[in-house]
Amino acid sequence: MNLLLLGGGVFLGRELLDAALARGHAVTVFNRGKARRDWPAGVQVLTGDRRGDLAALECGHWDAAIDTCGYCPADVEPTARALAGCARYLFVSSISAYASLATPGQDESAPLAGADGIDADAAVTAQNYGPLKAESERVLSRLLGARLIVVRPGLIVGRGDPSGRFSYWPWRAAAGGQMLVPDAPSARLQFIDVCDLAAWMIGLLDVGATGAFNATGPAGGESIGWAELIAACRDGVRQIGLLPAEPVAVAESLLTAQDVAPWTGLPLWIPASDQETAGLMTVDISRATANGLRTRPLDDTVRAVLAEPVPGADDPRVAARLSPAREAELIALAIAAGSAMEQG
């Protein structure tokens, strides 16, 4: 297959490139030339800007395109028109494109977010990210019809993750001391290793799949909660010769009362009381698994994160998290209130 990859420089794009090459596909990348210089041998590199300079795309013909960096209609519409000859166009959307994440277990038939009140060409923010992805899907559907494949990932994790949301937990376990974890034994966690997502997406193109797919993990009926996550992180730390942090479970009521920010301040945590996002970690992935999605053991993802350098305190991946002083304060408050429990 002759494949065009829009992006390809970092994280998911980088893994897609490697996965496509591993399967013997010819790969061309198109990007602004800023994120990466060390391209593998044999990869054709085209430089341009999808919002203003698509001339480089006039020189080639591709069997399929993968769009990893389309965030709004101003990104995707010109590119889709320029690639009218592509037989398939795979767009990386997001589960945030759904109109609501309040319903656990929703599948690909759930309604997408509306575009009312959203500037289709605005800069992307946390507030408009989902609606802009949804509107991008609608634009591409009108232009491409049955040639469009949409993948809606949940949280993508693993090596090279620029968000650090999952990575926070292996890093924190490696730092030692007492580690605050939410006391939420019934909560389920969903995320997908970037390598698994990339390999599966290339597979979708290989078999000629069509339609939309939720894509997260774990696949295969496994269930991951806080206990499994923390245990895997601590085991991974032991394997690199360090003494892991001792987890201290702190009541969600105390975390909420102390204005701990879910998802950002304490990554992956969504309070049970937050009904608006009750479905964020419980989306239905049965269509993806029926079409070949497989996910690796949690331990493998933890090891991949721990193999990378731990970022400094001013790194954007950790700057918004609980500081060590704030974490210690919250643990002390929980112990004083009798709402903390060591889980080591």
Query: Domain check: are 51 and 98 in the same one?
Result: yes
Does 197 map to a domain? Answer: yes
Q: Give the pLDDT confidence score for residue 343 in this predicted structure.
A: 61
Tell me how long the chain is: 344
Residue 198's domain comprises: 2-159+191-215
What letter does residue 104 receive in the DSSP assignment? T
Judgement on whether residues 209 and 271 belong to the same structural domain of the protein: no
Asked if the structure places residue 210 within a domain, the reply is: yes
Could you identify the residue written with the tokens 């990386």?
92
pLDDT of residue 102: 96
Q: Is the distance from CB of 284 to CB of 138 less than 8 angstroms?
A: no
| Residues 228-280: tens digit of each pLDDT | 999 999 999 999 999 999 999 999 999 999 999 999 999 999 999 999 999 99
| One pLDDT digit (tens) per residue for the chain, 344 residues | 999 999 989 999 999 999 999 999 999 999 998 888 889 999 999 999 998 899 999 888 999 999 999 999 999 999 999 999 999 999 999 999 999 999 999 999 999 999 888 887 788 998 999 999 999 999 999 999 999 999 999 999 999 999 999 999 999 999 999 999 999 999 999 999 999 999 999 999 999 999 999 999 999 878 899 999 999 999 999 999 999 999 999 999 999 999 999 999 999 999 999 999 999 999 999 999 999 999 999 999 999 999 999 998 889 999 889 999 999 999 999 999 886 666 65
Token pair for residue 108? 């690909």
Q: State residue 191's pLDDT score.
A: 98
CA 93/CA 96 separation, integer angstroms: 8
Statement to judge: residues 195 and 232 lie in one domain: no
Q: Does 34 share its domain with 153?
A: yes
**Alpha-helical runs (H) found in the chain:** 11-22, 73-82, 129-144, 168-175, 194-207, 226-239, 252-257, 286-290, 298-306, 316-319, 324-337
Whether residues 84 and 102 fall in one domain? yes
Task: Tell me if residue 81 falls in helix, strand or coil.
Answer: helix
* Domain assignment present for 281: no
Q: Are residues 312 and 210 located together in one domain of the fold?
A: no
d(CA 216, CA 106): 13
State whether 106 and 251 are in the same domain. Answer: no
Residue 283 forms part of a structural domain: no
Position 287 in a domain: no
Residue 28: both structure tokens together: 């061309």
- Domain shared by 105 and 246, yes or no: no
Do residues 183 and 325 share a domain?
Answer: yes
Task: Tell whether 293 is covered by a domain.
Answer: no
Say whether both 50 and 77 belong to one domain.
Answer: yes
For residue 234, give Cα distances in angstroms to 18, 20, 243.
Answer: 30, 33, 8
CA–CA dist 271, 292 (Å, integer): 32
- 178 lies in some domain: yes
**Has residue 282 been placed in a domain?**
no
Angle at 20 between CA 39 and CA 134, to 5 degrees: 100
* Token pair listed for 45: 């590199």
Separation of alpha carbons 60 and 31, rounded Å: 15
Distance (Å, rounded) from C-alpha 326 to C-alpha 317?
17
Structurally, the chain folds into a number of domains equal to 2
226 shares a domain with 93: no
Q: Given this model, what pLDDT does residue 340 score?
A: 65
- What token pair was written down for 117? 């009140």
Looking at the structure, tell me whether residues 84 and 185 fall in a common domain.
no
Q: What is the pTM of this model?
A: 0.96
Q: What is the CATH number of the domain that holds 114?
A: 3.40.50.720
DSSP-derived 3-state class of residue 251: strand
- Residue 126 has a pLDDT of 87
